[in-house]
Amino acid sequence: MNRVRVKFILPALTEATGPYWRPIKYSLFPPLGLATLAAYLSPDDEAVIEDEHVAPIDVADRPEVVVIQVYITSARRAYALADHYRARGAFVALGGLHVTALPDEAAAHADAIFLGPGEQTFPRFLADLRAGCAARRYASTSGRTLARLPPIRRDLIRRRAYLVPNSIVVTRGCPQHCDFCYKDAFFEGGRSFYTQRVDDALAEIARLPGRHLYFLDDHLLGDPRFAATLFEGMRGMGRLFQGAATVDSILRGTLIERAAEAGLRSLFVGFETLTPANLASSNKRQNLGRDYAAVTRRLHDLGIMINGSFVFGMDDDEDDVFRRTVDWAIEQGITTATFHIQTPYPGTRLFARMEAQGRIVTRDWDRYDTRHVVYQPARLTPRALKDGYDWAYREFYRWPSIARGSLAHGTIKHQAKHFFYAAGWKKLEPLWDAVITLKQLPAMTPVLEAVLSKVSGKSDRRQLRADDGEAYGCRTTGGDDDPALGVAVDAARGGKVFQAHDVAARRRDVGGENADIAVDRAFHSGGFNRHVEPHRFHSGSAAGDADRHPPRCRLRFHGLGTRWRAEDKCG
C-alpha cells in the first residue's frame, strides 16, 4: 500500500446523548492527539479528521485506514464505529487511554491496537502497513521522545468549530504519581514525563495565529528548567495563555512569576481534597502540608485566575465534605471549579485497590465520567455522594456564590474578570448554543482574550499576611498581618515605574521600616526599574538598599523587630 486514504475519528463521548451534554464544553479543543498522529503521513496520503462532538461522522465513506481515539466514556461509540468500518473493509486502528488500560477489550474491535503515546508506534505501524505486514498490537516502550516531531497537522482541524483552536502540548505525562491518575498506566514501559525541546515548542507557538493559547499539558511547570526557558522565550510574544500545574510547583521558587510575565492568565490547579488523610492515601504527596490559601493568594496577586479541581468520595470524606469544599473555594476566590466524583479508572492503582476490596460496583464504562458513583464509598452512601456532588456544582455556580467569589479579589478589574469568566462558563449556555449553531465561535475569541487580559494583580490587603513571603519565593518567620506586603504587591504588580516619591508616601502609609521592606519586596518582585534611586529610601536597620541586590533576588531581612523577619531563599 503506497498512497493511503486515512480517516481519523474522535468519537463522541456517551455524554453527548445524555442530560449533561454541553455543546460548548466539547467545542473547546480540537482533537490534538489525532492531528499529532496525522503528521506522520506522507504528503501523498489523503487524510481527514472528524470530531463527532462538533459534527456528525460521515459513515458512508470508504477510507482504507480508520484511526480512532478511545476514551473510557467514548469506548462504546468507538467500538461501534470500528465495527462499522471493519465491515466496510477498512483497516481499523484503535488507540488512546482506554485502549491502553484495557487492550484485550479493544482488540476485539480492531485490526491493530496501540498502547501508550503514538509518536513512536504510529510511524512504525505506517511503515509496516505499507510493507503489508502490520502487527496486531503496538506498544510504546523505551525511546520515547518529542524531539524532531513533524509539525502537527493543524490544517486538518476545522478551527472555526472550536472556541480554543490554539491548544498545544509541549510535554507528555507528569513527574508525579497519584494513585487515581491515568498517567502511570498510560506511560508504563517507558518514560512517564518528558518535554519537547524548548526551541521546538517556541516554533510551534509561533506557528499559532492570534494571541490566545491553551496548554493541555498535565503539568506545565513539571520540569522547572524547561518551563523557565519556555517562559523566557515567550516573553514579548504577546501571548495570553492558560494551563495546568500542581500546588507545590506554584509555591516553589519564582517560576510562576515568570509564567505570568510570559502571559499566563488562568491556571487549572489540582487541589483535589482539603483533607490531608485523603492526599496521603491517594499518594498525592506533592499536595501534603501545602498551604492551599497561599497558592490562591500567590496566583491572584499575579492576576492569574484559578480553575480548581476537587474530588469527592475519597475514603476520608464524610457528609460535610461538600459544604466545606465549596465554601473554601468561594472564599478563596476560585473562579471556576471542576468537581469530580472519585472515579477508579481501569489501569490505575486506585482501581486495583478497589477491585481487591470488592468495591467496584459497575463496569459500565459509560458511567465512568466522574459524575456517577461506580464504587462503594467508605464513609458516605452512594446516594449522599451523588447528591452532594450535584449540590456542590449548583451551589458554587449560583449567582450569589459567583458574586461572593468575585469579591474575594482586591481590584474591581479582577472582580469583573472573575464574574464574567465564571458566569460566561456556566450561566450563558443558551448563548453558547446559539453561537455554536450560527458557527460564530471565532467571534468569541476577542471576548475571551479581553476577559483574560492582564489585571494589576493588586492584592486584597485584608488577606495579606507576613507569611505571604513564601508566596514570593521567600521563607518568612513570625509575624502577622503586615500592610507592608500589600504595598509591595501594589508596587510590584502595578506595572508602572515606581518613583522615589512613592516611597515617601508609602512610608507615611505604613511606617518607616515596613515601607523599606515593602520597597525591597517590590524590587524583588520586579516592580522596580532603574528610575528608582535606592539611596532615597535607606533607613535605620531596614535592609532597603535595592542597589546592592543582584538582579535576581537574594536579599535578607534581619532584625526588624518582633513583627516579622524574612529570609530570602530564592535566586
Query: According to CB under 6 A, which one of 1, 5, 21, 28 is a site residue for ligand B12?
Result: 28
Instruction: Round to whole Å and give the CA distance between 393 and 174.
Output: 28
Given a contact cutoff of 8 angstroms between Cβ atoms, the answer to whether 40 and 122 are in contact is yes
| Per-residue cell: 563 | 513583627
Q: Measured from the CB of residue 92, what is the shortest distance to ligand SF4 in angstroms?
A: 30
Instruction: Round to whole Å and give the CA distance between 181 and 492.
Output: 38
Site for ligand B12 in 86-125 (CB under 6 A): 93-97, 114, 117-119, 121-122
Instruction: Round to whole Å and give the CA distance between 70 and 54.
Output: 17
Radius of gyration of the chain (CA): 25
Backbone angles phi, psi at 294, to 5 degrees: -65, -30
Q: Is 456 in the site for ligand SF4 (CB under 6 A)?
A: no
Q: Measured from the CB of residue 218, what is the shortest distance to ligand SF4 in angstroms?
A: 4
Secondary structure tally for the chain: helices H, strands E: 22, 17
Q: Which stretch binds ligand SF4 (CB under 6 A): 134-142, 169-177, 397-405, 494-502?
A: 169-177
Q: Measured from the CB of residue 490, what is the shortest distance to ligand SF4 in angstroms?
A: 33
Site for ligand SF4 in 206-225 (CB under 6 A): 218-219
Query: According to CB under 6 A, which one of 7, 9, 11, 15 is a site residue for ligand B12?
Result: 15
Q: Which stretch binds ligand B12 (CB under 6 A): 29-37, 195-203, 406-414, 511-519?
A: 29-37
Site for ligand SF4 in 498-527 (CB under 6 A): none
Q: Which stretch binds ligand SF4 (CB under 6 A): 110-118, 171-179, 490-498, 513-521?
A: 171-179
For ligand B12, the closer of residues 29 and 472 by Cβ is: 29
Query: According to CB under 6 A, which one of 27, 45, 52, 69 is a site residue for ligand B12?
Result: 69
Please choose which of ligand SF4, ligand B12, none residue 345 contacts, taking the beta carbon within 5 to 8 angstroms, the exact cut-off set by kind.
ligand B12
Q: Is 36 in the site for ligand B12 (CB under 6 A)?
A: yes
List C-alpha distances in Å: 41 to 63, 124, 175, 422.
Answer: 14, 11, 31, 41
| Per-residue cell: 398 | 449560583
Please choose which of ligand B12, ligand SF4, none residue 365 contacts, taking the beta carbon within 5 to 8 angstroms, the exact cut-off set by kind.
none
Site for ligand B12 in 355-374 (CB under 6 A): 369-370
In the chain, the amino acid numbered 192 is S
Q: Which stretch binds ligand SF4 (CB under 6 A): 178-186, 332-340, 434-442, 500-508?
A: 178-186
**3-class DSSP assignment, residue 139:** strand
Please choose which of ligand SF4, ligand B12, none residue 121 contacts, taking the beta carbon within 5 to 8 angstroms, the exact cut-off set by kind.
ligand B12
Q: Is 146 in the site for ligand B12 (CB under 6 A)?
A: no
Q: Is 246 in the site for ligand SF4 (CB under 6 A)?
A: yes
**3-class DSSP assignment, residue 487:** helix
Q: Measured from the CB of residue 283, what is the shortest distance to ligand SF4 in angstroms?
A: 8
First to last CA, the chain: 57
Please choose which of ligand SF4, ligand B12, none residue 153 contacts, taking the beta carbon within 5 to 8 angstroms, the exact cut-off set by kind.
none
Q: Which residues pair with 307 in a beta bridge?
A: 268, 336
Given a contact cutoff of 8 angstroms between Cβ atoms, the answer to whether 521 and 472 are in contact is yes
Provide the mask over 254-273, with x wherever binding to ligand SF4 is found by CB under 6 A and - wherever it is not: ----------------x---
Instruction: Round to whole Å and give the CA distance between 173 and 187.
Output: 7
| Per-residue cell: 266 | 488562568
Q: Where are the alpha helices (DSSP H) in 427-546?
A: 429-437, 441-451, 483-493, 500-510, 512-524
Q: Please name which of 176, 179, 187, 175 lies closest in space to residue 349, comparing C-alpha atoms.
A: 179
DSSP string, 58-104: -TT---SEEEEE--GGGHHHHHHHHHHHHHTT-EEEEESHHHHH-HH
Site for ligand B12 in 262-321 (CB under 6 A): none
Q: Is 73 in the site for ligand B12 (CB under 6 A)?
A: yes
**3-class DSSP assignment, residue 545:** coil
List C-alpha distances in Å: 254 to 251, 286, 348.
Answer: 8, 17, 33
For ligand SF4, the closer of residues 130 and 177 by Cβ is: 177
Q: Which stretch binds ligand SF4 (CB under 6 A): 121-129, 176-184, 197-205, 407-415?
A: 176-184
| Per-residue cell: 526 | 520586579
Provide the mask over 117-156, with x wherever binding to ligand SF4 is found by CB under 6 A and - wherever it is not: ----------------------------------------
Q: Which stretch binds ligand SF4 (CB under 6 A): 17-25, 170-178, 288-296, 384-392?
A: 170-178
Q: Which stretch binds ligand B12 (CB under 6 A): 32-40, 76-84, 228-236, 533-541?
A: 32-40
List C-alpha distances in Å: 154 to 36, 48, 49, 118, 158.
Answer: 8, 11, 10, 17, 8
Instruction: Round to whole Å and give the CA distance between 69 and 75.
Output: 9
**Where on the chain is the footprint of ligand B12 (CB under 6 A)?**
10, 13, 15, 25-26, 28-33, 36-37, 67, 69, 71-73, 93-97, 114, 117-119, 121-122, 169, 181-182, 216, 218, 340, 345, 369-370
**Where on the chain is the footprint of ligand SF4 (CB under 6 A)?**
174, 176-178, 181, 183, 218-219, 246, 270
